[in-house]
Amino acid sequence: MAPRKLFRHQLLNYEADQIRLLQVRSGSCSLIQCTLQHYDLAACPPYKAISYTWGRLYPTKDILINGARFSVRENLWQFLCTLQPDENDFFWIDQICVDQENIEERNHQVECMGDIYHEAFEVIIWLGAAESGSAHAMDFVLQAQARNLGLGDRSWAVDVGSTSCVGSPSSSCQSFDLSAAPVKALRVLFRKPYWSRVWIVQEIMLARHLLLKYGDRIIKWEDLQDFKVWCKQNGDLQLGTCFESLSGLIPRAVKTIINNKLQWGLGETWKAPNHDLRHVLSTYTECECEDVHDKVYGLQGLVFFGERVLVDYRQGLEGLTNDVLRIVAKESLYDAKRTRALHEFAILFAYNIYSTDLRQFSSLPTSRLYEIRRMLTHIDNYVASQLRLRIRRF
Distances (CA, A) of 16 to 43, 178, 297, 392: 10, 53, 21, 43
Considering the chain, what percentage of its residues have pLDDT values greater than 90?
Answer: 43
Name which of 169, 293, 300, 284 is nearest 235 in CA terms.
Answer: 169
Distances (CA, A) of 194 to 51, 133, 170, 274, 315: 9, 17, 35, 25, 27
- Inform me whether the pLDDT recorded for 13 exceeds 50: yes
Considering the chain, what percentage of its residues have pLDDT values greater than 70?
Answer: 69
- Inform me whether the pLDDT recorded for 154 exceeds 50: no
Contact 189, 219 (CB under 8 A): no
Q: What pLDDT shows up at residue 230?
A: 83
pLDDT range class, residue 360, cuts 50, 70, 90: very low
Cis link prior to 45 (omega < 30° from 0)?
no
Gyration radius of the chain's alpha carbons = 24
* DSSP labels, 62-90: EEEETTEEEEEEHHHHHHHHT----TT--
Q: What pLDDT shows up at residue 4?
A: 73
Residue bearing the bigger pLDDT, 179 or 310: 310
The model's pLDDT over 110-146, given as tens digits with 9 standing for 90+, comes to 999 999 999 999 999 999 999 988 888 898 888 776 6
Q: In what order do the strands lie in the sheet containing 18-26? A: 68-73, 60-65, 33-40, 18-26, 91-92, 48-51, 122-126, 210-214, 217-220
pLDDT range class, residue 173, cuts 50, 70, 90: very low
Euclidean distance between CA atoms 264 and 323, whole angstroms? 26
pLDDT range class, residue 311, cuts 50, 70, 90: very high
Contact 250, 234 (CB under 8 A): no
pLDDT range class, residue 336, cuts 50, 70, 90: low
Euclidean distance between CA atoms 21 and 46, whole angstroms? 10
Amino acid at 131: E
Q: What pLDDT shows up at residue 353?
A: 62
- Inform me whether the pLDDT recorded for 82 exceeds 80: yes
Q: What pLDDT shows up at residue 339?
A: 57
What long-range pairs does 5-8 form, CB within 8 A, spacing at least 24?
A: 5/67, 5/68, 5/69, 6/68, 6/69, 6/70, 7/36, 7/65, 7/66, 7/68, 7/69, 7/70, 8/68
Q: Which of 18-32, 47-61, 201-215, 344-358 has the lowest mean pLDDT?
A: 344-358
The model's pLDDT over 242-253, given as tens digits with 9 standing for 90+, comes to 446 677 788 989
- What is the average per-residue pLDDT within 261-273? 75
- What is the average per-residue pLDDT within 44-52? 97
Q: What pLDDT shows up at residue 235?
A: 67
- Inform me whether the pLDDT recorded for 215 exceeds 50: yes
